Amino acid sequence: MNVIRLYKEEYIFDIYYDVDLGNTHVADHGVTDLELYEFFSLEKYLAIKRKDGSFEAVGMTANRSLKVIFRNQKMTKKQKHFFVITAWEYKLSKDETDAIRSREEQ
């Protein structure tokens, strides 16, 4: 499997690289590395575990909403490691937005 590894503060991102596309799926959908970092570091997202063990998450960055498909890798108190399969811009529903905001208030 082809991946690109990025380091940002306490985060490690392994991003799926599609040789046929000549790019990552994330970049192919117009999502930047900075947006991935914001998505996970701001923790303004909702995630559900899929049957294959990966997660499907919807949430917000500083500038827009995304859907991100990822797997948790090795997670410690000092380091958070994600394998990001793909991500794209996503319009949050009112219920999703309300759920994210209520999590922030807790």
- Dump pLDDT digits (tens) for 59-93: 999 999 999 999 999 888 889 999 999 999 999 99
Average pLDDT over residues 13-22: 91
With the C-alpha atoms ordered 46, 39, 80, 98, is the resulting torsion angle positive or negative?
A: negative
The helix or strand, by DSSP H or E, that contains position 104, with its residue range, turns out to be helix 94-105
What's the confidence (pLDDT) of residue 77?
83
**Mean pLDDT score of the chain:** 93
Q: Which has more confidence, 76 or 98? A: 98
